[in-house]
Structure formats: C-alpha cells, structure tokens
Amino acid sequence: MGREEGMQIVGTIRSLELHALASKFHGVPARQVAKLTLDIERAVDENDHEINAENLAGLHFQGPAELVPIYAVGERVMITTTTPSGMHIATIKHAPLS
C-alpha cells in the first residue's frame, strides 16, 4: 500500500526564490510563495515506483514563503508533494548525502 501523499523527490536545490501568487478572487491581495527547482537524483510515486527523473526536469515546486530563509541553493533535500501529480510541497527536509 502506498503513502497518502504524492511523489517523493530527492535532489539538490538549483533555484529558490520568493514568487508573488496572484489571487483568483477580486479584492484579495497576492501572496508570497517559495518557488524552487531541483536537480533531481531520485523520484518515486505514491506507490514507491521509480519515476524517471528526466520527466520531472525543469519543474517548479511550490511551498510556503518561510522556506526561503531556511533552505539555500546547493542544499540536498527530500520533498514530498501533496498529491501524486502535484507540485505543491507537503513536506521538505534536508537529505543526507548518499
């Protein structure tokens, strides 16, 4: 049986920046989110099946703005997404060197 979350990705942060996300509703201001890309080493789906890392190359992952001061370009991390096909970060943590 698989995890309840989505993909699990291990890689090195290539870019990390604050990004303004426009609201879909009139009168609601834009909010800041962290947008990051990874040099992906390994990825598995919610059933722990390997995903070809090349298929995820260049994708941006999105999380709370608080990630920007905590993580830096060049750090190795493990991300779990909120859904199997989503790019929203459910969890992120430093990954040990393998």
- Give the chain's length: 98
Instruction: Map out the domains of the chain as residue ranges.
Output: 8-94
Say yes or no to pLDDT of 2 above 60: no
pLDDT for 54-87, tens place per residue? Answer: 888 888 999 999 999 999 999 999 999 998 888 9
* CATH of the domain spanning 8-94, picked from 2.40.128, 1.20.5, 2.40.50, 1.10.3470: 2.40.50
pLDDT band at 98 (very low <50, low <70, confident <90, very high): low
Strands lying side by side in the sheet with 61-64: 61-64, 31-44, 8-21, 76-81, 89-94
* HEC per residue, the chain: CCCCCCCEEEEEEEEEEEEEECCCCCCCCCEEEEEEEEEEEEEECCCCCECCHHHHCCCCEEEECCHHHHCCCCCEEEEEECCCCCCEEEEEEECCCC
